[in-house]
Structure formats: structure tokens, C-alpha cells
Amino acid sequence: MSNVKLTVLDREQGKNPRQIRRSGFLPGSIYGKGMDAKNIQVNTHEFELLYKKNQDSTWEISLGSEKFNAKIQELQLNYATNEFLNVEFSVLS
């Protein structure tokens, strides 16, 4: 398994997930044992390219100055349009 590097942003306040997706980002969250969940947004195009080749990999996520090693816990998909709707990362201990 390889390490996939992904840079994410804090989720914009006051925007619902549909508005975030419309602006080219994928809403999501990062959570793990002993930490508060963080709401994030990921560049949809970048995520799609990385996900196609690295579905079961460990993801090295950069959020500002913080770095997390995580796995994809859940990925929600609209099966009619094949559009990603939401991604959840679980931090590895």
C-alpha cells in the first residue's frame, strides 16, 4: 500500500454541501479517537484522480499546519450520476 498525499481546506462556514459541490469541492470530515471531528472540503477533481488509483491506500492529509494519516471510512456516491457527494476519513492511531 502506498501513501497518497492530499491537501484539504476547512469547510466554508455558511455554505451547505450542495453549494460546496457546485463550487468544485467535495465536502467531508476527518475524525479519530481522542480528537474532535473536523469538517473539510477537498478539490473534487484532484480527489477523483487520486481515488481511482488509490482506493485502499493510506491518505496523508494536510489541513493547514496539521497532518493526518487516515483511511477512507465512507465515500458517498450518487449512483445515477457517478458524482461523489461526501467523503469521511478516519485517522489511524
**Residue 1 confidence (pLDDT):** 56
State the Cα–Cα distance between residues 78 and 65, nearest whole angstrom: 32
Q: What is the pLDDT along the chain (93 residues), one digit of tens a residue?
A: 578 999 999 998 889 999 999 999 999 999 999 999 999 999 999 999 999 998 889 999 999 999 999 999 999 999 999 999 999 999 997
**44-58 residue pLDDT tens:** 999 999 999 988 899
Name 44's Cβ contacts closer than 8 Å, sequence gap at least 6: 21, 24, 25, 26, 84
State the Cα–Cα distance between residues 81 and 21, nearest whole angstrom: 14
State the Cα–Cα distance between residues 11 and 25, nearest whole angstrom: 9
